[in-house]
Structure 1
Amino acid sequence: MQVIVLGGGLMGTATAFFLARRGVRVRLIERGLIGAGATVASFGNIRRSGRALEQMPLANRALALWTQSEALLGRDVEFRATGHLRLIFDEASRADMLRFADAARPLDLALEELAPAEIARRFPGLGPTAIAASFSPQDGSANPRLVGPAFADAAARAGAEIVAEAGVPDIARTETGFELSTRQGVFGADVLVNCAGAWGAEVAGRFGEAVPLGMHGPQMGVTEPLPHRILPVVGVWSQQSGAYLRQVERGNIVFGGGVPRLPVDESGFGRFDPSGLSRQLGKLVRMCPALRDVAIIRHWSGCEGYVDDGLPVMGGSATTPGLFHAFGFCGHGFQLGPGVGDAMAELVATGACETPIEAMSIARFAA
């Protein structure tokens, strides 16, 4: 069996890596640079709290792989299980957290509920006006600029062929599988795995599978380096757009959220919108007042695919034998990445997946 994985972000590189580890002949084709799409624009959050319950088994599978990432990949991608603290500022959000905690407990996620005094004792300087918080001690973060290339390099060492800067391919169905014509050559395969991110719906549409997906960009930023004081990833339970931040070991504060997602222009990327900055920074200061006078040194955005029902598309095609999908992770796929790659490799190689992914099937849009 020859497999082409289309897309060189975290989902695609992880899928290629785990396929190669299974001894499958695999070629990864990326239109641009490896890891330079939604992955590199990501916050780097590895969280299970607040995640759709349908994804929790996959998130648990992914977390187990994140803990092994340095051994698997042969390099440090800065995975740190520092814990994930989510501050709560209103009673409706506290009730939402408690409902989620009850539902997630049977799915192997135990959230700690923290009162204000406990927040102040364990995390001084964070959320001084919060009425409560949740804490997930096994979650954390990793470096999104390192992880895509690390998976691609490890896949190559395991026998995969990596084809970057291939441009947008022309995809044709053949009697024996698929043929992709790119600016790096023409490639054939028995199996095609669509990991094309925000462009995954276009690929699916070529095979008669319509997916309601929109493209949006996150609004991200980073501060000057500061003394290292913030250990966990910090977010907010909110029914609106919650902000989030984390401090990297070099001292910079990476932040995002708190404002609506950005539109994507003709370049295929979102553009930073300064009009929302004051609102975003106000939410950051509410989480950590010490950031009030800190300098911001860079902003960025990217392009992420958002499916209308909030769940990604993952699994086999409903129309075309040999076609598989893993795209549209709605801005919260980073944590899932290794689990997606491992599950997709299992599905392609064996025809089954031990982790339940049926809720994410593309067949849900067939009607």
Structure 2
Amino acid sequence: MSRTLHRDVAVIGGGLVGSSAALALRRMGFSVVLLDKGFCGAQASGVNYGGVRRQGRPPEQIALSQRAHAIWPRLKDLIGIDGEFVRSGHLKLARTGAEMASLEAYAARVADLGLDLELIGGNRLRERFPWIAGDVMGASLCAGDGHANPRLVSAAFAHAARHAGVDILEHTPVSHVEKALDGFHLSASSNTDIKARFVINSAGAWAGPFAEAFGEPVPLYAIYPSMIVTEPLDVFMTVNIGAEGGGIYARQVERGNCIVGGMRGEPLAEPDFSRPTGSGAVTIMNRAAALFPALRHAYAIRFWSGTEGEMADRNPVIGFSRTTPNLIHAFGFSGAGFQIAPGVGEVLAELVRDGESRTPIQAFAIDRFARTTQGSRADNVLCGEAAGALGQQISARRFAGSALRIE
């Protein structure tokens, strides 16, 4: 039997952005339905590295990041668990003089934005963090940053939203979205029709076809970050580690496992799915062993990858559509959405309620990518294959079956 749901807001994509927005909207009193092709939080939101950092973000993201920064310590009150959030600090390493100069320039650029960065020279770095080896010139420390468990946090936001009264429809791909005089009409699997006043496109790596169908094409690309987790070791890594110029990031959890990343996986024949590469795994393990002697000869027990959406300028799209009233976009977080997602959820809820947000988001407007040619579906209808590609998070993890030793 078919059913029709009448809701204030329909959220497409059940990642951390979508579920946090749904929760914030419900707490404001709106009726909300959240649709996901797979399980909520099973894609990028649940398989990312877990860094909760403000350091290193473009200055235009800092206000939003600071808003999210205030939410993370309150997770238990908000979603029922702390998500293994630890305010460990985030240490960004410089391996060359040029990289150290870059860290110094960044610290000066954000000096008035509340990050309280501490620049550390090479000698002092070795005194404070003797477990870091190699030719490291110095570092920048943001003591208030940290890390958390994405597999717990993402699922918990969706659970809290459901508990608050959000209709969460998992394994429910959207097949049709249409703008009508009274709002939006959506058709989904399980013979479900939805009528909503607002639609939020929080579709992650699959948001592009949706935006283009409403006349707003964007340069959104899929990327496949790849991570490794080691066997439990004695705890030695006291901060969340990054590196200027990229190439490696690492953290250690209370149980002793180290999570290490810095390489990309590759898509499978069905590009929604990805897996790590053998060469990438070996490369990142060797980098980790060179920087962290405690990891030499440790076993890597699990490998995984996921699919994320990256924008050409590495800033997300957040805000109202410029072509379609009451359509809101929130996607393209370029591998750095985990920390800011709870803040983005609050911003999206404010946009629905107030038509604007108290947090500046002008830099993330979708019309910064305006093109001279519009999408082929100028009648504001999304259907067929494009709808099937929308941000319904799909579990894309592929774990290696054998353990490898870091040499």
TM-score range relative to shorter protein? over 0.9
- C-alpha distance in 2, partners of 1:177/1:112? 50
> RMSD of aligned C-alpha atoms?
1.4
Matches within 5 A, 1:115-126: 115-126=121-132
Task: For 2:42, give the aligned amino acid.
Answer: A
The question of whether the paired residues in 2 share the 8 Å contact of 1:87 and 1:287 is answered with no
Q: TM-score w.r.t. structure 2 length?
A: 0.87
Shift of the alpha carbon at 1:334? 0.6
Alignment of 1:1-367 (within 5 A): 2-184=8-190, 185-238=192-245, 241-257=246-262, 259-260=263-264, 262-263=266-267, 265-367=269-371
Q: CA-to-partner distance for each residue in 1:272-305, whole Å, 9 max, x for gaps?
A: 1112223222221232122121111111101000
Separation in structure 2 between the aligned mates of residue 88 and residue 267 of structure 1, nearest angstrom: 35
- Code of the residue aligned with 1:197 in structure 2: it is G
Aligned length: 364
1:216–1:270 contact (8 Å) kept in structure 2: no
Identify unmatched segments of 5+ residues in structure 2: 1-6, 372-407
Residues 223 and 264, structure 2, Cα contact 8 Å, conserved in 1: no
Alignment check: 8 A CA contact 1:31 1:169 kept:
no
Q: Write the letter of the residue equivalent to 1:146.
A: L
Write the letter of the residue equivalent to 1:74.
G
**SS class of match (1:106):** coil
CA distance in 2, matches of 1:169, 1:262: 27
Could you give the per-residue CA deviations for residues 331-363 of structure 1, whole angstroms, max 9, x where no partner exists? 111111101001111111111111110110101
Q: Secondary structure at the match of 1:298?
A: strand
In the superposition, the TM-score normalised over structure 1's length comes to: 0.96
Contact (CA 8 Å) 1:11, 1:326: kept in 2 or not? yes
One-letter amino acid matched to 2:363:
A
Query: C-alpha offsets along residues 64-96 of structure 1, whole Å, 9 cap, x if unaligned?
Result: 011211111122211110101111110110011
Displacement of 1:120 in angstroms is 2.4
* Preserved contact between residue 217 and residue 269 of structure 1 (Cα < 8 Å): no
Which of the pair has more CA radius of gyration?
Answer: 2
Identity of aligned residues (%): 43
Contact kept? 2:174, 2:186, Cα under 8 Å: no
Is the contact between residue 195 and residue 325 of structure 1 (CA under 8 Å) also seen in structure 2?
yes
Contact 2:131 2:292 in 1 (8 A): yes
Secondary structure of the corresponding residue to residue 112 of structure 2: helix
Q: Secondary structure at the residue paired with 1:105?
A: coil
Following TM superposition, by how much is the alpha carbon of 1:118 offset from its aligned partner in structure 2, in angstroms?
2.2
Deviation sequence 1:243-272 (CA, Å, 0-9, x none): 001111111111111x35644642402221
Is the Cα contact below 8 Å between 2:265 and 2:276 reproduced in 1?
no
Contact 2:226 2:305 in 1 (8 A): yes
8 Å Cα contact 2:228/2:281 also seen in 1: no
| Alpha-carbon distance change, 101 to 261 in structure 1, aligned in 2, over 3 angstroms | farther
Output the CA distance in 2 between the equivalents of 1:221 and 1:344. 33
**Larger mean Cα displacement after TM superposition, 247-256 or 154-163:** 154-163
